[in-house]
Amino acid sequence: MSGLNIRPFEAADLRAAAGLLAERQARHRSRHPLLPAEYEDPEIALVEVAAAWETEGASGSVLVEGDELTGYLLGAPKPSAVWGSNVWVERAGHAVREPEKVRDLFGAAAVRWVEDGRTAFYALVPDDAELIDAWFRLGFGSQHAHAVRPVPSTPLLGRPGLTVRRAGRGDIAVLAELDLVLPQHQGLSPVLSAGEVPTLEEALADWEESIDDRDYATFVAEYNGRVIGSSVGCSIEKSSAHGGLAKPDNAGFLAYAAVFPDARGIGAGRALGEAVLNWAAEVGYDSVVTDWRVTNLLSSRTWPRLGFVQTFHRLHRLIGH
């Protein structure tokens, strides 16, 4: 293509890339106004792009049309046996004027990544239909959802027959059991996650230490006198997965929810989510953030029905198969 040049990302590209990221955030916020406005300022966006560039092992590509940089892509490996030999394109890792061009940028950047033996690729992509389509046409698929909703203006009323209350020390044993429920469920089809499941002893020790931590609001749901599920709320500041461009101002976080398999279908999961939303409103948060594996059929249906709207998609691709 005449006048179009794709080359490796360089430190001198940071400021132009920050301008593109600020434009992307403005477009993103037109659809999701709860996301932070400050990153529409290129000087603040520059902090995010610089952090992506300064991550150990980072590399990428830029698109130059004429004398103007119109797209960039940055990725870096994340040391973890769970994620494979990987490269991650994080929240600030790419921005393009024309969504289709992300395919050219990935094609150029991935040459080095594959030469380095990287076979698993992850990209956190804004909820933009054309941009997601371009990533899909690179062989990526949806793996994980990040979502937000405002706190309720009036208290949500729960479900008939269910009692939801704050957890106490007397609940430690059942809370530990429930800590195993979600990772066990994630290991089943169709999620088929390779994440580790803690031991019951580890979960018990964790709850013994943390049950009185006032930074976390823990709820349990009871049905016919039995605790059947739990949920945890906290400040978004406690979540490393929801920083920067994906971190709404003054937000709470629905950090965990699980219901025993034999008690599903009576609305306990929704009621536990509502308890966290009510708590967030009482504390004074403006919104609540959560995330889920899209192949988790329970989460991917319950949380959108509770009003959560997806803001970012974590996409995934394996190569060599």
Return averaged pLDDT per consecutive 10 residues of the chain, 321 residues in all: 82 98 98 97 98 98 96 95 91 98 98 96 97 98 98 90 96 97 94 89 96 96 97 96 94 98 95 97 98 97 97 95 65
Residues 6+ apart with CB under 8 A from 213: none
User: Are 155 and 82 within one domain?
Assistant: no
User: Are 287 and 205 within one domain?
Assistant: yes
Helix (H, G, I), strand (E, B) or coil at 154: coil
Give the pLDDT of residue 83. Answer: 86
pTM of structure: 0.94
Taking the mean position of all CA atoms in its chain, how far away is CA 211? 25
In single-letter form, the type of residue at position 56 comes to E
Give the pLDDT of residue 160. Answer: 86
User: Are 127 and 251 within one domain?
Assistant: no
Selection from 80, 78, 81 nearest residue 58 by Cα: 78
User: Are 126 and 209 within one domain?
Assistant: no
Token digits for 39? 């990153």
Question: β-pairing, 287-293 with 251-259?
Answer: parallel
Distance CA 182, CA 16 (A): 42
User: Are 229 and 281 within one domain?
Assistant: yes
Distance CA 246, CA 263 (A): 33
Selection from 4, 38, 1 nearest residue 21 by Cα: 38
User: Are 52 and 126 within one domain?
Assistant: yes
User: Are 196 and 278 within one domain?
Assistant: yes
User: Are 199 and 121 within one domain?
Assistant: no
Token digits for 308? 């959560």
CB 163 within 8 A of CB 222: yes
In whole angstroms, how far apart are CA 290 and each of 89, 147, 252, 268?
A: 20, 6, 9, 17
User: Are 79 and 12 within one domain?
Assistant: yes
Distance CA 152, CA 281 (A): 7
Find residue 258's DSSP bridge partners: 230
Ranges of beta strands (E only) in the chain are: 4-8, 59-65, 68-75, 86-89, 94-96, 120-126, 141-150, 162-166, 216-223, 226-235, 251-259, 287-293, 309-318
Give the pLDDT of residue 105. Answer: 98
DSSP 152: P
Domain count, the chain: 2
In a domain, 318, yes or no: no
**Could you tell me the end-to-end alpha-carbon distance of the chain, in angstroms, rounded to an integer?**
31
Peptide linkage before 190 cis (omega within 30 of 0): yes
Distance CA 270, CA 201 (A): 28
Selection from 5, 9, 23 nearest residue 59 by Cα: 9
Q: Please compute Rg for the chain using Cα positions.
A: 21
Distance CA 281, CA 297 (A): 27
In a domain, 144, yes or no: no
In a domain, 320, yes or no: no
In a domain, 250, yes or no: yes
User: Are 14 and 80 within one domain?
Assistant: yes
Token digits for 147? 């979502």
Token digits for 111? 């040459």
The parent domain of residue 71 ranges over 4-139
